[in-house]
Structure 1
Amino acid sequence: MSTASILRPVLAGAASVPSDFILSQSRAIEYPKEVWYCLGSFIFLLMVGNIVSILSGLRRRRKAVRKDAEGQARSEALSLRRLPLAVVNAWRVVAFRSVVDLGQGYSVNLAEVFMTAGYIVVLFAWTLINTTNLEGSRLDISYWAGRAGNIASVQLPLVVALGMRNNIIAFITGVSFEKLNYMHRMTARTVCVLLWVHSGGTIKIGLGPTPFAEGYMKAGLVAMVAFSVLLLVSIRPALGSYFHTKTFGLDYYIWPSFVLWGFDRAVRVIRLVTFNHSYFGFSTGLGTFNATADVVAPGFVRLRFRRPNHLHWAPGQSAFLTMPDVSTIPFESHPFTIANADLDQLHHSEAADFTEKTGQSVPASHGKDLVFVVKAREGFTKRLNEIAKKDGSLKIFIDGPYGAPPNLGNFDTVVFFAGGSGVTFTNPLFVDLLHRASVDAAAARNIIFVWAVRDLEHINLVYQDLLDSLRQELPGVTVDVRIHVTSMTSDVPSLRGSEESISAPVSPISVESPTKEHDDMSKIVQLPRTRVEHGRPDVRAIIEEAASLAAGSMAVNVCGPAGLTADLRKALRSPAAGPMSVLRGGPSISLFVEAFGYA
């Protein structure tokens, strides 16, 4: 690229060019590359951390051996051999369990704060450094103004990559695409500010008598306006930016965005056809793909439908559903968590062992049945609820699965916390873990499942899954299920289900005309290893209890309202779960948080 092509748009009519201007233009080309070197190095470090985490999990799995409760006593003496684990745990406490409250139930953890601050510092440091004109003239503005535009443009592929469902960054770092959504929004907003710096500096220099006679200026204006007001679709800013930068020979900053966008759309189309092929005229042995919708509890709709055997999903993953009979906008899709586990994902040998040990086959109701539980609110979900009240049938297209849920098979102790409909995330993880623990001695030894619900009727959201899973024989595994009913009347006693598999369920309440509440309570008592308690769970006490049982690593999983997540993070910052506890032989604790939505 020639110097003249760079000077033409910003120095039209200038009589002379300062001697250091050519150097500034060289920096305008090199500094955006250096920014990418910096960001690429950070992504590489995250990838290395992901690989180390995977290898550590495999190492824990190889060392895991089923042990009796005796001999598990923990030494209170400090052990420097556990210092690396203590440091990792201290980092988790600071980065992921300490949050900044932004109001209206939205907060960010300090890791997100650090990354936001670091990203802003990197972009503006490389934008403003070495921008002083040594010979003194108004051209020093053009130094940082032009560079701001270049650095902002080269960020567009990153912005697009962070917002993709089929996310390359998520794949290499192990951070699921929905959690990268925060970074997608943050980088886009930072780039928008940088573009305004570029525009403001250009206006300050002077645009000339006919500023928009040139096509690249028109394209730049379109890109700036589109980026600022987020008109309709995000492709318009990219198009305008492409034609604007093409004039300067810098279009290679932009075109990777189109490649990434096209890749994501192509994969989504392939998924759509592959998992919904009956609707596209391809023969299938499953018959219709239509879903049944029913009201499983007041305000909750359950969707159940079949999909081909080649569809697999990890427990805790989500999918985007398109329902033409419900939507008012064509191809409108909404994300929902898959509420059941794909037990066919168990290795064939594990499934055979399961059948041999229990005399049961993997329940057919799970197979390739997909189950979604949707909380009815307004708009789309309200219309879906009206269909469900009539026990209707509707056409559903599925795009997914998406997400990177935790792999819990390598932890000694696993604790689940769910609030209300948050059970749709924890239930498949719990069910999958119980089935694996029944055939795999390296799986979890202690499992605690805590579910806080407002009404007893909410037990119907996942009741059959819990009943089938808890009836299994789990030698050497301690399972404790606690259902906290926050609105339960005080005259209904706390109850506990049987400890063993059930042969003849017994109702805890005998009345001539049982109420719906009594029927639901009777269901709960049929659940083995389960107890019902009044009020909200004591999160800290449960965490301390679980930590005292753990002989190795411990995983805590939560999905629910912001208050529950905040209480859990606070509990994990306590001394009983902190780095000093790790040094004294306590478990190294990993926290996995699934949020209800995004701000």
Structure 2
Amino acid sequence: MIYRIDLFIVAAIAVVVIVRLPRALALLGSPYEWTSGHILRYVPYERPARMVQLRQQSSPATSKEAESTDDAHTLYSYSHANHVQRVNANGAPTKMYYPPHVASCTRLLRGVLAPLRLRITPGFSIAQVILLSLYFYVLVYAAFYKSNPFTDPMRTAWLAIGQLPFVFAFAAKNNVLGALIGLGYEKLNFLHRFVGRLVVLAANIHSIYYFYKWSLAGTFVASMQRSSNAWGMVALVCVDMLFFFSTAFWRQKAYNIFISTHIIGFVLVLPATYLHKPTMLPYILASVGFLALDQILRLLKTRITMATVRPLPELECTRIEIPGINSGWRAGQHVRVRVYSFAMGWFSWIESHPFTIASVSGGPEGIVLLCKKTGTWTTKLYDMAKTNGFVERGVVAREVRVMVEGPYGGPGHTIFASFSAAVFVAGGSGITFALSAIQDLVQKDLKGRSRVKVIELVWVVTDPASLVPLVPLFTSLIQQSVFTPIRISVYYTRAPIGKFPFASDNFIHGLTLAPGRPRIAKVLESAISRAVSLGAGVKDTVGITGLVVGVCGPVSIADDVAKAVGAIEPLRRDQVGGIEIHEECASSFLFFITHTNYAVCALQSFRLVAGYLALAGSVPYSINHLYLRFCYSEMVSGKEVIFKCIRSLFLFIHRRIHIISFVHFSQSST
């Protein structure tokens, strides 16, 4: 049964891979896209030749390409030319090459799939709840089909070990499944946590049966002296330790403890499981295979080099420049960074933190990271950058040795340059994702490799002074966007203290600063209208190829964007060729049971499933009764939900134990 269930899950994954195969093939049709995003490297930088000129005379002003995400010393005064053309190094008109575009779904399915983006709780969509509900039902079916976990403990044992390879597969940074379907490891992390918790539950149910049996017979100590049982206890302690130290408290307050216990637990649980039950070797080898592949690829993706760090007080972040690595990533990808410096503490080098790359691949400055000062590690990094450094262009800077691992994440099979319009919404330090993506689009557009006709950037910050260090870059981007105008709207949510940092005429056309929060729906409507009005004939004859919306920042911003996209009228959505969302938010790392309120919505979503099970009689009445107690009880708070769940589970176990005891007593009496 367990083997068949595993094959069913693999088959379901294969169906998803086949459905998304056209997008993967489209990615192969764009050489730059599929050859980048795998291995970081250094390539000699060549200053680009002039790519734009007036149709009748050259225009030096338009030929300048941004060579730095800093550009703090240069502000250009420039108005877009109306009659310009792309030219190559020889001055001849550039031959256009547009990347292939494959929509994520057909037009007929847009109306069906659009509601799946709606959020049930912050950062958690209906699609994710449906997926987890189906996965849960499949495993419940495997556990209870012609079996009872309290009379057949081996079923839950095989269920736990059968899901262990999936736990490793979903957790790997170099995720094979993610590469096939075009999703980063962070997008699949919620599956890793969900399946991991089910493994812990199944392992404990398996163990409780034997603990009760041995205790009832008075042979607990003697049974635990057997080598296989002792190793089984080691495996049980490991999985319980993994569960306990993976809760939100440890991940947020003591990340080093969380990651250390994960490493220790995973290293011990596999050999302990084999010594407990050698017949489980195939599943153990599969888990080891996923783990070994991930570690080998992580080693190949690791680089140790020098970096320059300097503080940006206006943004309350640290800028890391790594000139020794200037190629090998796609816009929107991130890297994991370790800093080797005793100035950050004796053990800070152990910590590895992810940061989105803010620069474009192939530039002269290499990798540029903006590290927001939020936790202990980033605060130490910011303080180190401020002290004992050298002065470079009027600011304090410091050189340190870093280990860079990546790149990871990113757009996957999505090609931003294949859409007709692009809208980027960023909150705080999420601007790094938008900067990288927009710079990449501008450069591709100048080379004739982009279909994008409309680019909108919305940046939400708390203080308007956060805009100060990025005004030169924003100005440079607007100046370069000769063929694809860029509009940048910055919103600040707090009143400035003291003198306002900008004069009223400090910005060029296309860059605005306003108080309050953005109206995302209005921005999307504007982008759709501009894309539809320009039509497809301006760029190519394929037609309007849709609107891509990239969002990076707090979960609340991602939820607002998803809500605004869902509110777009179907007619408008079809006019622009469909709307796709790409998220790079903290919600990708969340799991709905981490917070008790997530359990409320998830359990409510199981009501229909529970009712169906009760009517159809697909599983024993006892599990249906337990399901219904979970789903239909009055849920006034998250804590009460957890209490009711635990209470119902113990009542269920207690009732089963009494039934087993009565059966044993009856048999002994006869």
Relative to the length of structure 2, the TM-score reads 0.65
CA distance in 1, matches of 2:325, 2:438: 24
Q: Please say if 1:33 is aligned against 2:10.
A: no
Q: Please say if 1:89 is aligned against 2:110.
A: yes
Aligned to 1:268: 298
Counterparts of 1:461-476 in structure 2, within 5 Å, are 462-475=470-483
User: Conserved in 1, the CA contact under 8 Å of 2:442 and 2:481?
Assistant: no
Counterparts of 1:151-170 in structure 2, within 5 Å, are 151-170=159-178
User: Alpha-carbon deviations, 1:224-257, whole Å to 9, x = none?
Assistant: 1111122713453563454434535221111221
CA distance in 1, matches of 2:30, 2:486: 21
Q: Please say if 1:334 is aligned against 2:353.
A: yes
CA distance in 2, matches of 1:442, 1:214: 67
CA distance in 2, matches of 1:533, 1:560: 19
Aligned to 2:383: 386
User: Conserved in 1, the CA contact under 8 Å of 2:323 and 2:367?
Assistant: yes
Q: Please say if 1:574 is aligned against 2:593.
A: no
User: Conserved in 2, the CA contact under 8 Å of 1:127 and 1:148?
Assistant: yes
User: Conserved in 1, the CA contact under 8 Å of 2:548 and 2:581?
Assistant: yes
Closer, same or farther in 2 for the Cα pair 1:340/1:472, shift >3 Å?
A: same
Match of 2:287 among 237, 243, 257: 257
What is the one-letter code of the residue matched to 1:565? A
User: Conserved in 2, the CA contact under 8 Å of 1:174 and 1:404?
Assistant: no
CA distance in 2, matches of 1:566, 1:212: 51
User: Conserved in 1, the CA contact under 8 Å of 2:311 and 2:385?
Assistant: yes
Match of 2:135 among 119, 134, 141: 119
Aligned to 1:211: 223
Q: Please say if 1:404 is aligned against 2:404.
A: no
Closer, same or farther in 2 for the Cα pair 1:532/1:151, shift >3 Å?
A: same
Aligned to 2:12: 42
User: Alpha-carbon deviations, 1:359-398, whole Å to 9, x = none?
Assistant: xxxxxxx335211111112311111111122233322111
Superposed CA RMSD in Å reads 2.9
How far does residue 417 in structure 1 lie from its aligned partner after superposition? 0.8
User: Conserved in 2, the CA contact under 8 Å of 1:455 and 1:488?
Assistant: yes
CA distance in 1, matches of 2:30, 2:454: 15
Closer, same or farther in 2 for the Cα pair 1:300/1:473, shift >3 Å?
A: closer
Matched position secondary structure for 1:236 = helix
Matched position secondary structure for 1:266 = helix
Identity %: 21
Q: Which moved more, 1:261-270 or 1:431-440?
A: 261-270
Matched position secondary structure for 1:323 = strand
Note the residue ranges of structure 1 that are not aligned, 5 or more in a row: 1-30, 62-67, 69-81, 133-139, 279-288, 345-365, 491-513
Q: Please say if 1:562 is aligned against 2:592.
A: no
Q: Which moved more, 1:208-217 or 1:464-473?
A: 464-473
User: Conserved in 1, the CA contact under 8 Å of 2:457 and 2:489?
Assistant: yes
CA distance in 2, matches of 1:383, 1:582: 46
Aligned to 1:99: 119
Counterparts of 1:174-573 in structure 2, within 5 Å, are 174-206=182-214, 209=219, 210-230=222-242, 232-237=261-266, 239-246=268-275, 247-272=277-302, 275-276=303-304, 289-308=306-325, 311-325=327-341, 326-329=344-347, 330-342=349-361, 344=362, 366-367=363-364, 369-390=366-387, 391=396, 392-405=398-411, 406-440=414-448, 442-460=450-468, 462-475=470-483, 477-487=484-494, 517-518=501-502, 525-526=507-508, 528-551=509-532, 552=544, 553-573=546-566
User: Conserved in 2, the CA contact under 8 Å of 1:216 and 1:245?
Assistant: no
How far does residue 296 in structure 1 lie from its aligned partner after superposition? 4.8
Aligned to 2:99: none
User: Conserved in 2, the CA contact under 8 Å of 1:156 and 1:238?
Assistant: no
User: Conserved in 2, the CA contact under 8 Å of 1:419 and 1:560?
Assistant: yes
What is the one-letter code of the residue matched to 2:329? W
CA distance in 1, matches of 2:337, 2:111: 40
CA distance in 2, matches of 1:466, 1:381: 26
User: Conserved in 2, the CA contact under 8 Å of 1:85 and 1:582?
Assistant: no
What is the one-letter code of the residue matched to 1:107? G
Closer, same or farther in 2 for the Cα pair 1:291/1:442, shift >3 Å?
A: closer
User: Conserved in 2, the CA contact under 8 Å of 1:419 and 1:559?
Assistant: yes
What count of residue pairs does the alignment treat as equivalent?
471
Matched position secondary structure for 1:254 = helix
User: Conserved in 2, the CA contact under 8 Å of 1:299 and 1:375?
Assistant: yes
Closer, same or farther in 2 for the Cα pair 1:126/1:596, shift >3 Å?
A: closer
User: Conserved in 1, the CA contact under 8 Å of 2:427 and 2:557?
Assistant: yes
User: Conserved in 2, the CA contact under 8 Å of 1:60 and 1:411?
Assistant: no
CA distance in 2, matches of 1:60, 1:251: 42
User: Conserved in 2, the CA contact under 8 Å of 1:413 and 1:546?
Assistant: yes
Matched position secondary structure for 1:450 = strand
Closer, same or farther in 2 for the Cα pair 1:301/1:238, shift >3 Å?
A: closer
CA distance in 2, matches of 1:543, 1:473: 20
User: Alpha-carbon deviations, 1:414-460, whole Å to 9, x = none?
Assistant: 11111121101111001111111222264201111111222222124
- Would you identify which runs of 4 or more consecutive aligned residues in structure 1 move more than 6 Å? 56-61
Note the residue ranges of structure 2 that are not aligned, 5 or more in a row: 32-81, 83-102, 246-260, 388-395, 533-543, 591-670
Closer, same or farther in 2 for the Cα pair 1:487/1:302, shift >3 Å?
A: same
User: Conserved in 2, the CA contact under 8 Å of 1:238 and 1:254?
Assistant: no
What is the one-letter code of the residue matched to 1:155? Q
User: Conserved in 2, the CA contact under 8 Å of 1:148 and 1:198?
Assistant: yes
CA distance in 2, matches of 1:571, 1:59: 32
Closer, same or farther in 2 for the Cα pair 1:393/1:175, shift >3 Å?
A: same
Closer, same or farther in 2 for the Cα pair 1:216/1:90, shift >3 Å?
A: farther
Closer, same or farther in 2 for the Cα pair 1:416/1:40, shift >3 Å?
A: same
Matched position secondary structure for 1:302 = strand
Aligned to 1:592: 582
User: Conserved in 1, the CA contact under 8 Å of 2:493 and 2:517?
Assistant: yes
CA distance in 1, matches of 2:181, 2:10: 12
Q: Please say if 1:52 is aligned against 2:22.
A: yes
How far does residue 203 in structure 1 lie from its aligned partner after superposition? 3.1
How far does residue 260 in structure 1 lie from its aligned partner after superposition? 1.8
How far does residue 465 in structure 1 lie from its aligned partner after superposition? 3.4
Relative to the length of structure 1, the TM-score reads 0.72
Closer, same or farther in 2 for the Cα pair 1:292/1:454, shift >3 Å?
A: same
Closer, same or farther in 2 for the Cα pair 1:39/1:567, shift >3 Å?
A: same
CA distance in 2, matches of 1:270, 1:428: 24
